Every structure is written in structure tokens, then in C-alpha cells.
Structure 1
Amino acid sequence: MSGGPDRSFLPHFPVELPVPDLRPWLPGNMLPGVWSFAAEAPGPHVALCSLIHGNEIAGALLLSRWLEQGMRPARGRLTFIFANLRAFARFDPADPTLSRYVDEDLNRVWCERVLNGPRQSAELSRARELLPAIGTVDVLLDLHSMLWPSDPLILCGSVPRAQALGLRLGVPPLVVADQGHTTGLRLIDHRGFTRPEGGRAALLVEGGQHWEAATLATLEACATALLRETGVLEPPPALPLAAPWVAPSRMAVVTRTVIAGTHSFSFVEPFRGGTVIPRRNTLLALDGETEIRTPHDDCLLVMPSPRTMRGHTAVRLARFLDPVEG
């Protein structure tokens, strides 16, 4: 299996961020690549997870900086996770898309049947290794970035308590409720965070494009907002001065996930993630001879992928829960 897409399939993407030096943090104090610190005062267990995908380095830069600064909780427990270390070890700024994973996507393996089953891969081994630590987490924030241009957003799945938490954070201001992927469960979809009777919650923040300085600022502001919201640090950290958000939080719900049915899927325009299409039945793309059109007015495009292989998600279409202000 390949650790990422064929480089001939993608344009060149510049890497503006420095590659984090994780050598001091590889041993961990709980598990390899996992650092966990408990306070004397009771409180929630909050985890910040980076490198679910080995080439998404912005989150790892943030966590390594906070570890170097000696960040510790005033109450509860605070855990920093560098997830796919084997994939990250392959990261090369000259070919930055090729180290997303080693054998398979680490963000598609969090089904209990898969985790407890016989299948083997580098990513499944790591997920099984991380599972005991993740099983004690009350609130988790998974730090991600995106390949294609898009406004930052929070993915909260379909759990109401996670949706409410995402809206309370306020950064980034767009919160999207979705059903995940047909190809496997994400970390935030693990049963421990989604069972109706539970109180645990998990969010995934997409901070912006991979390897851009603004993406690191977005992830820092979102993680800071979570630490403020959960109260694990006293006094709570100030939001970064450069936080680029002024809009109030808004919730959108995915109404359709468009899966490419052919190898010739193509959008009719170079749409950016976060674009709102005003009118229902607007042509978005051609999938072979099939037209893909907006199913409703004020249709939000969530992370459109302009170069989509057959069987992969091309775009998610969403409806705001409140009217779009024109």
C-alpha cells in the first residue's frame, strides 16, 4: 500500500511551516509519543491529538511548542498525542503529500469491530496501542489541516453534545455536523465519544491548508479555546492575538456526501471550501455523464476536492441551521 497519493495526480504545494523536531517527545511518559500530566485538583481529562495523518504537521508544531514551554493542567488531566509517528518519520517537504499514512488511513480504523478484529497494519497497531489512553479521555480535540483551499471549520459528527461544544468554542466559527465516512470510522466517531448515554465528546478541527502559517494560528486558537472552555488551565490562556475570526459561530448539517463514481469526476469551477451556492439545482460537477447539482438553496460546500479518485469523497453539501445573511 502507498503512504499517499501519486505525486503526478497533484500540483506542488509549498511548505511554509518548519518541520517539527519531535525527537525530545518520541518516548512519551504514558506511551511512545503520548505525554500526559495530572493535576492535584479534580477535573476533566482533555486530550489534544496531532499527526493522525503524518503529513499534517501544524498540530504537531503546536503541541511540541506547548510541551517545550512546560504547559501543565491546573485541574484534571491534559494529554498531548503525536499519533502516526511512523508516517511522520517519512515526511519530506519536497514531497509533502506522500506521508499521510504508512499502510492505511489512521482516521478510518476506529470501529470496535476493526480494532478487535484480525486485520493488521501499521495504523491499526498504533490505534490499538493508543486506545487505552484514549479510553480515559473526557474531551478530545483532533488537530487536522486540509490539502485544498478551504475556510477552517470544526467537524462534530452527529452527537448533540459535541455540536454544542463546537459552537461554544467559537474558533473557527463554522461547525459542521456530519455522518463521517463510508470507508471507516474517524477517531471522533469512536463509540466511546458517540454513545448516547455518555458524557464524553470529541471534535475534529480542520485549521486550513496544510503547511500554511495561518493554519497553525487557527489550530492554536481552537485548542486554546478548548482549554479555556474545559477549565483545565488556570488562569485560562489568552486567545492568540492573530486569531483571524470575527464572525459568530454557525452550525451547518451535511445533507449529502458526494462520492465520485467515475475517474472523470470534475467540478465546473475551482470551488473553495466554505463557498455558499445561493440557488438550488445549481450545477456543481460532472461525474462521467451524471450531473451533480445543489440539493437546496444556500448550499455550503464542505472541503471540495478538485482531484477526486473514484470511490472517494468529492465534496460534502450542507445546510445552515440559521438563515444565510446576504
Structure 2
Amino acid sequence: MSVPPCRFSISESDAPLELLPQDISAWRQGNCSTEYVHRLDSGVPGPELVIQALTHGNEICGANTLIWLLEHGVMPVKGALTLIFANVAAYQTFDPQRPFASRCLDEDMNRLWQTESLLRPDSRESHRAVELLPYIENADSLLDLHSTTYAVAPMLIYPDNLRNREFADSMQYPFPHLLYDLGSYHTGMLISEHERHSDAGVSLVAECGQHFAAATSAQALATALHFIALHGMLDADVEIPDWGYAPDKSAGHYRIDRVLQAQTERFRFAEPVSGFERFSRGELIATDDQELIAAPFDNCALIMPARVPVEGEEVVTLAEYIDRN
């Protein structure tokens, strides 16, 4: 299989570079057979948790969270907690003049978790995924930490089933929840692969805020500690900090409907958007050369619109706003 190149805008970022990537070489040699993987075993029976960072190399909030957990010696009180720095090779290419370019090397590491890529890896990301797959398959619950291009509200994303929704609601997470049907939304996502192997735990993506913002790393840490605590695995002496961001009117449950791709280089949104704008059925969302793209249903929210639309690439996810948290 030929792997398309990892594509990104080469223009300077409009995201504030409040935090830059840290040197994580001290964490290269973990206590597993795989580099940049650390398994913290309590020695007491309990769940197997995995927290993954750097699925995308420029999303540094997750790496900062894992560094904090390791430097502060956070150990689960039962079960085991595995911490994974995923696409380290991409992370190490960071250039402050082109900060989005370190997202990946060859392909998006959050689109390759499916049989064809994992059985016949042909990119640096897919080879790394094969190394990490045993930890993903062995996990009862998985948290994958991400950040976003625009300064939109943090959000949780998860397959729509009772255990994921009940767990996410129990986090008292006062930000958007995005629900999707397994198999109908980015089948190569890490949490979808985990969900196929788990029948008791939970599979969550946390989008923690804008790339490189200090508040985003604070949000990621709070999310990770809530995740550990709700599994009954956090020592009572570990204080969970406040969320990095204040909730806003975008909070609620949304059901993902579809992903739009730019069919031409002339794709343009009808108005400036950053995310969670809502449209009524029939309202104009965008144009793609001569095509008019209208909202296909009421309460149609735009999720993670592309910063720079690229022909043939996804430009926005459409989701139906369901209810408040």
C-alpha cells in the first residue's frame, strides 16, 4: 500500500507558542521492551489503564502530562498504568517557524489503526503503531490526549455506548462530548482499535485545547488525573487541579454525523469559523468551487474546521447537537 504524505500548512502558526516541546530523551528507556513506554504496576489486582500522548507529534500537552506523572512519581494504588509517548520521531522534528509540521512524518498516526496498516506497515508511523499495539490490546481503558488548531473548547470523543457515556458523564467534564458510531467515523482511530478489543473498559480521546497553550497542558493533566481517579487508582494524596479552561456555551452532547472533504482547492467556509458554530437545516456552511454546501440537519455543529483547507483532505466534521451536559 502506498502511503500518502503527511500534509500540513507551511505558513506560520497563528497559535501562541506559550509552551515549547520539552526534551523527553530521559524517558526513552522505560521499563518495557519498547522505547518511551513506561508501565507503572501497583502489584495489586485492578484495571490496566493506558494513557497515550503524541499520537500527533505537535500536540505537546499529552507529553507534558506524562512527564508530570513520571516526575511526580504518581503510582496507581491498584492495577497498572502504562504511559506511552507515541510519535516521538515526529515530536523531535519541531521547528517553531513551522510548528504544525511536526504533526507526523509520513502519515496521520490516528488514521492507521486498522488491519491493513498493522499487518503490512509501510510508514514510520505504522511501524511505531505495531510496536505499541500489544499495550493497546491489553488495556482495559484507554485515554488518548490531543490538542486542536483553534482555541475552541476542550472536548471528549468516544464511541457511543453506555459504558463510555456513563464514564464520561461521571467525569463531570463541563465541555463538549462528541459521540460516534464505531465503524462509521475514522475507522483507523486509536480509540476505535481499542474499542474493538475491550468489552468492559472505556475508550476516550480528550482534545484539551489549542496547540502550545499553557492552559491546554493544564487541561490535559486534569483530564488524565480524573481518568485515573475514576478507575479508583489515584492515591488520595494526589491533588487534582482545576480544569485548564472555563466552560462555555458549547458544552453538551453531540452526535457525529459525517466528515466533509475539500473536493477542490477552492473550498471556503461561508463565514469565519473556529468550531462549534451551529447552523439550521439548509443554511449555507461552505462553497467548494461551484458547489454550495448546506447544513443537512438542524443543530448542525462544525467540529474542528481545517485551518487551511487542502484539496482531497478532510475540512470539517458535522455533528448534531443533542443536549446540554
Same-fold call, TM cutoff 0.5 = yes
- Unmatched runs of 5 consecutive residues or more in structure 2: none
2:264 corresponds to which residue? 262
2:285 corresponds to which residue? 284
Alignment of 1:73 with 2:76, yes or no, is: yes
CA contact (8 A) 1:172 1:218 kept: no
SS in 1 for 2:226: helix
Alignment of 1:202 with 2:203, yes or no, is: yes
Alpha-carbon distance in structure 2 between the residues aligned to 1:52 and 1:79: 15
1:226 corresponds to which residue? 227
Question: Across the two proteins, how many residue pairs are aligned to each other?
Answer: 319
Alignment of 1:310 with 2:272, yes or no, is: no
2:215 corresponds to which residue? 214
Task: Name whichever of 242-251 and 311-320 sits farther off.
Answer: 242-251
Alpha-carbon distance change, 155 to 312 in structure 1, aligned in 2, over 3 angstroms = same
Alpha-carbon distance in structure 2 between the residues aligned to 1:137 and 1:203: 12
Alpha-carbon distance change, 135 to 256 in structure 1, aligned in 2, over 3 angstroms = closer
CA contact (8 A) 2:281 2:298 kept: yes
Report the CA distance between 1:156 and its aligned residue: 0.4
% identical equivalent positions: 33
The residue type equivalent to 1:219 in the other structure is: A
2:140 corresponds to which residue? 138
The residue type equivalent to 1:193 in the other structure is: E
Which aligned runs of 4 or more in structure 1 are off by greater than 6 angstroms? 180-183
User: In structure 1, which of residues 12, 15, 22 is the aligned counterpart of residue 24 of structure 2?
Assistant: 22
- Unmatched runs of 5 consecutive residues or more in structure 1: none
CA contact (8 A) 1:17 1:58 kept: no
Alignment of 1:296 with 2:297, yes or no, is: yes
Q: Pairwise mapping of residues 1-326 of structure 1 onto structure 2 (< 5 A)?
A: 2=5, 4-8=7-11, 11-30=13-32, 31-117=34-120, 119-179=121-181, 185-190=188-193, 192-194=194-196, 198-235=199-236, 237-241=238-242, 243-246=244-247, 250-277=252-279, 279-322=280-323
Alpha-carbon distance in structure 1 between the residues aligned to 2:313 and 2:128: 24
Report the CA distance between 1:293 and its aligned residue: 1.3
Q: Deviations over 1:98-143 (max 9, x none)?
A: 11111111111110232113x4111111011111122211111000
TM-score, scaled relative to structure 2 = 0.90
Report the CA distance between 1:284 and its aligned residue: 1.2
Report the CA distance between 1:47 and its aligned residue: 1.1
CA contact (8 A) 2:258 2:317 kept: yes
Alpha-carbon distance change, 186 to 13 in structure 1, aligned in 2, over 3 angstroms = same
Alpha-carbon distance in structure 1 between the residues aligned to 2:91 and 2:10: 17
RMSD after superposition = 2.4
Report the CA distance between 1:243 and its aligned residue: 4.0
Q: Deviations over 1:58-82 (max 9, x none)?
A: 1101111210111111100011110
SS in 1 for 2:286: strand
